[in-house]
Chain A
Amino acid sequence: MNTRTVRIMATAAATVTVLSITIAVLVLLLASNSSAEQGAAVSGHGGHDGTVTAAADDSAGASHEDHASAMMGEEVSAPGGPNETDHFLNLPPAKPYQPGRVREFTLIAGEHDIEIADGLTFPAWTYSEPGKDASAPGPTLRVTEGDLVRITLKNEATQPHSIHAHGIHPSDQDGVLDMVEPGEEFTYEFTAGPSGVQPFHCHAMPLKKHISKGMYGTLIIDPKVPPPPADREMSMVMNSFDTNYDGENEVYAVNGRAFYYAKYPIQVKRGELNRIYLVNMTEHDPVNSFHIHGNFFDYHPIGFQNPSTNTDIVTQIQGDRGIIDLRFPTTGPFMFHAHQTEFGDLGWMGFFEVTE
């Protein structure tokens, strides 16, 4: 090896050394940076002097823990302000049976960005009533058994849609064979029955897409012979959102807003009878469930014509529904959620706040 080669070799070895030292210095700098940040965060929390000690770390950890354990109230992240779902939580009273009565509704099929979780918007396909905000689920319609129901669907969306209501009706009112094209409208007409809670949804193909995009709502058909009166009636649709269209849901909810009733617990009175019309419109997952804490309820599948079971969990497959009669014997916050824990963790969880 000549001297020049040796020189180059020495240079190369030096380069490697310098490289190693540079990386080491970089590493040290980064480390001191992050510990400085840690110190700043700690002093921000507890007014410490900024030095990082084991005790300071513990206090930061504890304050985080308090924050993380917030399951109810304003600390919870949920979309929208208070009382924004009251149309689902305070249903208008049932109309007594009256032969020959005609009930007319108009639903608009549209495309709207809706907030399904705090800050998370979903480009939904929706049913909405004229002049009212669009949401998924769509509106809860209430008729009485025997009413002649006319629902006009105005399609203001870009896809063909339909209304397929569960119940007994003629084939040509089933919303399956004929779609309402964009810009067109169609009036579905049928006599309401049988009584109970009936979902309605779009039946355009592909069905899965139209339902997961949000095209569903609740139709309550009150029986001719009224059931025992309830003090408070509400409708709840268990639903889900696949925000990246990979066939799996990112968000689960009841009435379309993740953790909404955890942030704004449903206010009920002790001893009063709450009647919940529960519908499962979850897409992708075959079943969903409703579980109440610290209490039991009577559950009538579909309607009061079916015998009830007394339980604290009800499981519904896609499209299934029923009526929950729920009375709280004691006051305090009571959680309700899907007992598929994953659904609960992804937004389908709320509280009843029971007061005197």
Chain B
Amino acid sequence: MTTPPTTTPTRFVDEDSTLDEHIDNLGAPRPSRRPPWVTFMIVAVPILLLGAITFVVASEGDRILNGFGHNPPAADELVVERVQFHPGEIEIEVVNPQAEAITPVMVVVDAAIVNTFDVEGGAREIDNRDSRTISFPYEWIEDDPYMIQIVSSTGVPTEVEVPAAVPAQSVTSRGLAWGALIGILVGFVPVALGLVWLPALRQLSQAALAGFLAFTAGLLAFLAVDAAAEAFETQAHLIPAIGGAGVVVMGIAVSMVALALVGRALRRSAEAVAGTTGGSAALTGGTLALLVAIGIGLHNLGEGLAIGSSFATGEASLAIALVIGFMIHNLTEGIGIAAPLARAGRRLHPMRGLALAALAGLPAVAGIWAGRYVAGPLFTTLCFAIAAGAALQVIIEIVRSLRSGNGPGFSSAHVQGGFAAGILVMWATGILAG
């Protein structure tokens, strides 16, 4: 079989065109040859047929499945969203992720059946996708670990481990203020301080600056893997029906696409100034710094969530040493934002510097608040997945920038070494944050 090598239609990608052009070309309307209703029918027919087939499969489902093999019933397992310790009472927020209703009949705390419990709304049966609060009187001891089981009428226990009982806290302005302070210390302050190095960075040679930009990429690679690992860890607390791993992949994909679109918008605006077109130029300077700040900001949202929820679950007594560890860790992120600015030889207005630091650092505050007071495992998983996707997309932008710039080659020692150094420094400072 042979393919004619030279007759490639022009609307396909040629070697000089970019991916963006390719996408634009795909979107271009083609001359219409059929009346619209015919097109409509062509579109509708597979959907109608699918509907008909689905109807048959649904009505004959048992016969089909039993013909193939025995289909075991779903485990009557709930998802625990949150455990709250009130004076003399424990409250557990659960969701029923299964296709059928689940009736909790027994609550077991530390291998002892509790005599009585209430399901919010009176009836014990929890419908598919319903969220309810199960509460029962219990003289819990502060800081003690608890192992709680909610047993269904079919004897399937949903287990939740509480590392340490922490009194449920209603939101107070005081709590919010202290949370904000921790968030600012952990997120905003170190990033802002890292940006102060910008004038010094600007003195470096082009090769060294490219190295620093690669350092940023390395840093982000570390954060991406770190966030993805967190996302996969928290998704394990979700019931399989939600498709935890899928949620992570979806979060990563959505945030990559979203950030790619932001990058595209920034690129267009840069081109509008430079008078070029095509939306394909690599991002540099302020625009790249902005993108890095967004990526780091989303990561700090996740970091804040981790800190906040560790307070909520009593998982880790977040010592002040740990806050200091996070601060040193995040100082590096300031350099990460400064690197593309330095490479472009830009100066930074202090107010813009503060804005960038806020963008990268303040999400930690939101994360701490959300983690402390509201976030469940699904929210947390999504946040970490989004952070991972954002970091990956920013790496892509940095790599583009490194390839297109007039500095040393992509495979130079500066660039490769910088990338490795970024990972290494994040790892080393990460040890401080436990």
Q: Tell me if A168 is interfacial: C-beta within 8 Å of chain B.
A: no
CB distance from B381 to the nearest CB of A (A): 17
Chain B residues with CB under 8 A of A27:
171, 176, 369-370, 373-374
Chain B residues with CB under 8 A of A5:
266, 269-270, 286-287, 290
Question: Given A27-B369, A117-B105, A121-B155, A4–B273 Cβ distance below 8 Å?
Answer: yes
Q: Tell me if A208 is interfacial: C-beta within 8 Å of chain B.
A: no
Could you tell me if B286 and A342 are in contact, using CB atoms closer than 8 angstroms? Answer: no
Q: Which 10 A-B pairs have the closest CB atoms?
A: A243-B155, A119-B105, A345-B112, A64-B137, A1-B286, A31-B171, A4-B269, A61-B88, A20-B366, A68-B137
Chain A residues with CB under 8 A of B149:
250
Chain A: residues with CB nearer than 8 A to chain B? 1-2, 4-6, 8-10, 12-13, 16-17, 19-20, 23-24, 26-28, 30-31, 34-35, 38, 57, 60-61, 64-65, 67-68, 70-71, 75-77, 117-122, 241, 243-244, 250-251, 258-259, 342, 345-347
- How many positions in chain B have a CB within 8 Å of any CB in the partner chain? 55
Could you tell me if B374 and A75 are in contact, using CB atoms closer than 8 angstroms? Answer: no
Secondary structure at the A interface, as helix, strand, loop or mixed, is helix
Question: Given A1-B285, A12-B294, A27-B369, A250–B155 Cβ distance below 8 Å?
Answer: yes
**Chain A: which residue is nearest B114 at the CB level?**
A68
Q: Tell me if B346 is interfacial: C-beta within 8 Å of chain A.
A: yes
Chain B residues with CB under 8 A of A4:
269, 272-273
Stretch at the interface among B351-359, B401-409, B418-426: B351-359
CB distance from A214 to the nearest CB of B (A): 13
Chain B residues with CB under 8 A of A75:
115-116
CB distance from B338 to the nearest CB of A (A): 14
**Binary interface encoding of chain B residues 357-393 relative to chain A, with 1 for a CB under 8 A from any of its CBs, else 0:** 0110011011001100110000000000000000000
Q: How far is the CA of A69 from the CA of B174 in the complex (A)?
A: 37
Could you tell me if B290 and A12 are in contact, using CB atoms closer than 8 angstroms? Answer: yes
Interchain CB contact (< 8 A) of A13 among B139, B151, B359: B359
**Chain B: which residue is nearest A262 at the CB level?**
B115
Name the interface residues of B168-192: CB closer than 8 Å to any CB of A. Answer: 170-171, 176
Chain A residues with CB under 8 A of B266:
5, 8
Interchain CB contact (< 8 A) of B269 among A2, A10, A76: A2
Chain A residues with CB under 8 A of B412:
none
Chain B residues with CB under 8 A of A19:
363, 366
Could you tell me if A250 and B157 are in contact, using CB atoms closer than 8 angstroms? Answer: yes
Chain A residues with CB under 8 A of B346:
1
Could you tell me if B113 and A57 are in contact, using CB atoms closer than 8 angstroms? Answer: no
Q: Tell me if B234 is interfacial: C-beta within 8 Å of chain A.
A: no
CB distance from B91 to the nearest CB of A (A): 9
Could you tell me if B153 and A121 are in contact, using CB atoms closer than 8 angstroms? Answer: yes
Interchain CB contact (< 8 A) of B115 among A6, A13, A77: A77
Chain B: residues with CB nearer than 8 A to chain A? 86-89, 103, 105-106, 108, 111-116, 124, 137-139, 149, 151, 153-157, 170-171, 176, 262, 265-266, 269-270, 272-273, 285-287, 290, 294, 297, 346, 352, 355-356, 358-359, 362-363, 365-366, 369-370, 373-374
Could you tell me if B286 and A346 are in contact, using CB atoms closer than 8 angstroms? Answer: no
Chain B residues with CB under 8 A of A61:
87-89
Q: How far is the CA of A60 from the CA of B87 in the complex (A)?
A: 9
Interchain CB contact (< 8 A) of A122 among B155, B171, B358: B155
Could you tell me if A118 and B105 are in contact, using CB atoms closer than 8 angstroms? Answer: yes
Could you tell me if B88 and A65 are in contact, using CB atoms closer than 8 angstroms? Answer: yes
Could you tell me if B286 and A65 are in contact, using CB atoms closer than 8 angstroms? Answer: no
Chain A residues with CB under 8 A of B124:
119
Could you tell me if B115 and A16 are in contact, using CB atoms closer than 8 angstroms? Answer: no
Could you tell me if B87 and A77 are in contact, using CB atoms closer than 8 angstroms? Answer: no
Chain A residues with CB under 8 A of B352:
1, 6, 9
Q: How far is the CA of A27 from the CA of B149 in the complex (A)?
A: 28
Q: How far is the CA of A61 from the CA of B137 in the complex (A)?
A: 8
Question: Given A9-B359, A26-B374, A119–B103 Cβ distance below 8 Å?
Answer: yes
Q: How far is the CA of A57 from the CA of B167 in the complex (A)?
A: 14
Q: How far is the CA of A76 from the CA of B297 in the complex (A)?
A: 53
Q: List 18 A-B contacts (CB under 8 A).
A: A5-B269, A5-B290, A17-B362, A23-B366, A24-B366, A24-B369, A27-B171, A27-B369, A31-B170, A38-B86, A68-B137, A68-B139, A75-B116, A117-B113, A118-B106, A243-B154, A243-B155, A250-B108
Q: How far is the CA of A38 from the CA of B135 in the complex (A)?
A: 12
Give the one of A10, A76, A250 with max B CB within 10 A. Answer: A250
Q: How far is the CA of A35 from the CA of B115 in the complex (A)?
A: 26
Question: Given A16-B297, A68-B138, A250-B155, A31–B269 Cβ distance below 8 Å?
Answer: no
Q: How far is the CA of A174 from the CA of B89 in the complex (A)?
A: 54
Chain A residues with CB under 8 A of B373:
27, 30-31
Interchain CB contact (< 8 A) of A241 among B86, B155, B176: B155
**Chain A: which residue is nearest B138 at the CB level?**
A68
